[in-house]
Structure 1
Amino acid sequence: MRKLILLLFLSFVLVACDEDANDTQDNKDDAENVVDTEQDESAEPAEPVYENVYPLTGIGTNEPIDNRIVGVMVNNHGNARPQTGLSKADVVFEILAEGMITRFLALYHSEQPEVVGPVRSAREYYFDLADRYGALYVYHGAANFVNDMLDDRGIDHIDGAHYDNDGYLFKRESFRVAPHNSYLLFNHVYDIATELGYDVKADHAPMPFLESDEIAAIDGEAASHVEIVYSNNPMEIVEYEYDASTEKYTRYNDREMTVELNTEEPIQVDNILIVETHHEVFDDAGRREIDVYSGGNAYLIQKGKAQQLQWENRDGKIVPVKDGKVVGFVPGKTWINVIPTSPGMQDSVTITGE
């Protein structure tokens, strides 16, 4: 009887010890799982991998990219503001036309707005830039000699004067007065281009863009506010205000925020490239020749920092250069402001920190 009781007692002790051992192992496993979970939560998320990258923005996509860039001449007269469709442009060149009023060459590729405008007339330096970026060039009207240059040089172009208010490619809006009321119906650009025998598919060479580690290492002077004075009389002042929450710059024209006409969405950009180059008026109408080839002084402004460097025209594209090496853009949208060498950077551009 005593032996039976002893055996039962020993069996109970062994079972209890085995359960304690299992509990200990379970607790150990739970602790390891907690540590692993905490490590996973603190780890940097892996950057997504995309099949393609848009050449003008450096932003990845899994969509096929084979559409051709479309460059549109957009009016920036005071009577043409706010404009429509500027927020969708990947790259915008802002350059003086006649007088001291600027005009835009807006390059569309990654996004395609329904409407763009008001659309204005062609200039040689604009269509030359559009062509060097491989774009279809869309404008409304031009002097005869400009149209002759477009034809003679084989520039793929669409003149809105041939489709004025046809309701398919262009329309006139009643809330504005000509020549500030012609709008491009963007959805039909490729159809018309095809009818004209132009290629609407293209494989565009990419602009230079920074990698993530290079973006984190951007250096330069603090640049929370940028002011570019094209003219004080009449007032033609462009400003960019840095928004640290979005890490983008909001654009202003003549002290008013640049917004989309219908939505009042502000125009925000990731890169501002200010380039200084020679301008020369060559006729009584005030038309200009502008050197977009020789290079010169420049500011590159991104992520709240401004770098003073040079610009060059490489393979048709205007790019920032430092110590002979191309400096990349932050992935996103870019505005390139071209200013005259006289009065030049020192008198035309003011950059301030916080």
Structure 2
Amino acid sequence: MRVGKLGLAVLLGIAITGCSNEDEQVVKEVEENIEQVDAEEEVDETTTTVVEEEQFEYYYPLTGIGTNDESVHQRAVAVMVNNHPNARPQTGLTQADLVYEMLTEGDITRLLAFYQSDIPAKVGPVRSARHDFIELSDGYDALYVYHGTYTILEQKLRNGLIDNISGSYHDNDGTVFERANYRKAPHNSYLLFDGLNGVATDRYNYSVTNEVGIPPLPFTSDDEETSGDDVQSVMITYSNSYYATVEYVYDQMQEKYTRFTGEDQTKDFESDTPVLIDNIMIVEMNHQIIDEVGRRDINLQSGGKGYLLQKGKLQEIDWQNVDGRILPFKDGQHVKFLPGKTWINIIPTSPGLAGAVSTGNE
């Protein structure tokens, strides 16, 4: 047992009053112990622990997370992910850096999921292309992956509208696409990432790296505070159908948002891992029906109103299209994203934010 300085002093006093000359050596040893304790306590009082921040050579452009891995130069891949009720739960959404969600036909939304920092083995179900999603993919110079589309758009894609790979030309080939036997078409086509780069380079002569680097999204530094009103949950109503509502709920323990469609939490089909999100944008845009099928043309250029959710706070923002990317602004200045994953929900201006979005604190 270690004896404290006070204890040693008492022992010394006893030793002095009760020792003869021949016991002087004992007194000397006690004095040395006291000096040692003094020295140790002096060190304890003055020594501080310095924790150095980890230094990174790169930052992933779509998440702002630091890395020393040269995979930061991997070209982004944008995948059209099916969001029909028969396609849920999907595979691979938990690893997407960035996701756009917006209506296609009727009241069913579709997802455009970007992968760059965290590549899953499989993503899907993969669904057909739409021109608005192509425009968003092009804003990130991403390789666009889809499965089928209508004739006019398919011809444009074949003529080089954007670098793309379609499941229609690789259907169930086992290299880039496979059909799951537990779902029915068109809700069972999945992208296989392991074979994607080889097919992209060997068959299509596409680049799969970006040595110049993808222009990064604007991200905050660690010492910047999040602004807005305390809001714990937000619901988006695309229609009154049970499958057409989206809810984001803030998890205070994880400091991230969970996502629900209807009453079902958005989780990975294979791992049962929930989708966790750091930034959520909800923006209103003008939607127009352009044909008898009900396809839409969405005005991605005009700018407009929106909400930004971060760390349990909601703030009103304006959105602008900057080089093909939908970004938040306030008073003419960028509102920065938190490092992490981002989802952007696009809703029609009618009913708009006031009619389609509700908030809660329970």
> What TM-score does the superposition give when structure 2 sets the normalisation length?
0.89
2:339 maps to which of 300, 308, 331: 331
Paired residue secondary structure (1:232): coil
Residue 23 (structure 1) shift: 4.2
Residue 17 (structure 1) shift: 8.7
2:189 maps to which of 158, 182, 185: 182
Residue 313 (structure 1) shift: 1.1
Q: Which residue of 2 is the match for residue 53 of structure 1?
A: 59
* Separation in structure 1 between the aligned mates of residue 57 and residue 358 of structure 2, nearest angstrom: 41
Residue 33 (structure 1) shift: 2.5
Q: Is residue 76 of structure 1 aligned with residue 86 of structure 2?
A: no
**Matched letter for residue 273 of structure 1:** M
Residue 351 (structure 1) shift: 1.8
* Separation in structure 1 between the aligned mates of residue 226 and residue 340 of structure 2, nearest angstrom: 15
Distance change in 2, residues 1:10/1:231 (3 Å): same
Q: Is residue 155 of structure 1 aligned with residue 165 of structure 2?
A: no
Residue 119 (structure 1) shift: 0.3
**Matched letter for residue 46 of structure 1:** E
1:66 maps to which of 73, 80, 85: 73
| Unmatched runs of 5 consecutive residues or more in structure 2 | 1-19
Q: Deviations over 1:51-79 (max 9, x none)?
A: 11111111111111211000000000000
* Separation in structure 2 between the aligned mates of residue 274 and residue 35 of structure 1, nearest angstrom: 52
* Separation in structure 2 between the aligned mates of residue 79 and residue 342 of structure 1, nearest angstrom: 27
* Separation in structure 2 between the aligned mates of residue 153 and residue 299 of structure 1, nearest angstrom: 35
Q: Is residue 263 of structure 1 aligned with residue 271 of structure 2?
A: yes
Residue 32 (structure 1) shift: 2.1
Counterpart contact for 1:90–1:110, Cα < 8 Å: yes
* Separation in structure 1 between the aligned mates of residue 333 and residue 158 of structure 2, nearest angstrom: 36
Paired residue secondary structure (1:213): coil
* Separation in structure 1 between the aligned mates of residue 39 and residue 64 of structure 2, nearest angstrom: 45
Question: RMSD in angstroms over aligned alpha carbons?
Answer: 2.0
Counterpart contact for 1:222–1:352, Cα < 8 Å: no
> What TM-score does the superposition give when structure 1 sets the normalisation length?
0.91
2:322 maps to which of 302, 314, 338: 314
Q: Which residue of 1 is the match for residue 3 of structure 2?
A: none
Q: Is residue 26 of structure 1 aligned with residue 29 of structure 2?
A: no
Q: Which residue of 1 is the match for residue 113 of structure 2?
A: 106
Counterpart contact for 2:63–2:97, Cα < 8 Å: yes
Counterpart contact for 2:135–2:324, Cα < 8 Å: no
Q: Is residue 291 of structure 1 aligned with residue 299 of structure 2?
A: yes
Paired residue secondary structure (1:231): coil
Counterpart contact for 2:242–2:262, Cα < 8 Å: no
* Separation in structure 1 between the aligned mates of residue 171 and residue 87 of structure 2, nearest angstrom: 17
**Matched letter for residue 334 of structure 1:** T
* Separation in structure 2 between the aligned mates of residue 32 and residue 286 of structure 1, nearest angstrom: 78
Q: Which residue of 2 is the match for residue 86 of structure 1?
A: 93
2:228 maps to which of 199, 220, 230: 220
Matches within 5 A, 1:100-139: 100-139=107-146
* Separation in structure 2 between the aligned mates of residue 17 and residue 307 of structure 1, nearest angstrom: 72
Residue 16 (structure 1) shift: 8.4
Identity of aligned residues (%): 47
* Separation in structure 2 between the aligned mates of residue 183 and residue 19 of structure 1, nearest angstrom: 78
Residue 114 (structure 1) shift: 0.7
Q: Deviations over 1:302-331 (max 9, x none)?
A: 111111111111122111101111011111
Q: Which residue of 2 is the match for residue 4 of structure 1?
A: none
